[in-house]
Amino acid sequence: MQREHFLFIPEVSLILFRDSCVFLLQRQNTGYEDGKYCFIAGHKEQGETVKQAMVREAKEEADLDITERELVLSHFTHRHAQGHERAAFFFTIPNFTGEPRNAEPEKCSHCDWFPLKNLPEMMPYMRTTLDRYLEGHLYSDFGWERSKLVQHVI
């Protein structure tokens, strides 16, 4: 008898830095964490790699033209949210050209560069990931019941 596999949803996020600031978008009309800020992010679609998904999301959300070669996998978060396990791939780009902007005003009410020392309210797992990344960690998990799994970082 063959076991049925569980659903593991792949997500991608782009952490853009400039000077001592990070680029964030404020969510609206999504039904999930509206009003909070997040990175350029989205879900991987069937048939694309995570890097291809990140290039597509950067264009769709921020009108930013990037290439797969520019992307550096900087952090991975295994998280549990909305009843599903999620694989969240976080990328950075050491040097990029262009200026990100709000390319989805129906889903984003505001975007800007925010000083790392004065961040607005972010989606909790993204804020935790940013903190872990800045501490030098490559992995974290988030959203698990503490009785089942203690949060880990590597």
Amino acid at 120: P
Instruction: Answer whether residue 154 is part of any domain.
Output: no
Amino acid symbol at 12: V
Q: What is the pLDDT of residue 64?
A: 96
Q: Is residue 148 part of a domain?
A: no
Asked whether residue 3 is domain-assigned, the answer is: no
In a domain, residue 131? The reply is: yes
Q: How many alpha carbons fall within 13 Å on the CB side of residue 27?
A: 18
Query: Of 27, 25, 13, which Cα lies nearest the Cα of 107?
Result: 27
At 136, which CATH number? 3.90.79.10
Residue 135 is predicted with a pLDDT of 96
Query: Which pLDDT does position 147 carry in this prediction?
Result: 35
Is the per-residue pLDDT at 7 higher than 80? no
Examine residue 151 and state whether it is found in any structural domain, yes or no. no
pLDDT of residue 145: 63
Q: Is residue 150 included in any domain, yes or no?
A: no
pTM of the model: 0.89
Task: Tell me the mean pLDDT in the region 4-19.
Answer: 89
- The pLDDT of residue 32 is 85
**What domain range includes position 40?**
8-142
Query: Based on the structure, what is the number of domains in the chain?
Result: 1
User: Kind and range of the H or E element at 125?
Assistant: helix 124-134
In a domain, 126, yes or no: yes
Name the region of 33 (left: φ>0; alpha: ψ -120 to 50; beta: rest).
left
Question: Two tokens at 101?
Answer: 């902007």
Q: Please, where are the H alpha helices in 33-75?
A: 50-62
Q: What is the pLDDT of residues 96-151, one digit of tens each?
A: 888 999 999 999 999 999 999 999 999 999 999 999 999 999 999 988 764 344 44
Q: Is residue 123 part of a domain?
A: yes
> What confidence tens digit (pLDDT) does each residue in 44-102 have?
999 999 999 999 999 999 999 999 999 999 999 998 877 788 999 999 999 888 899 99
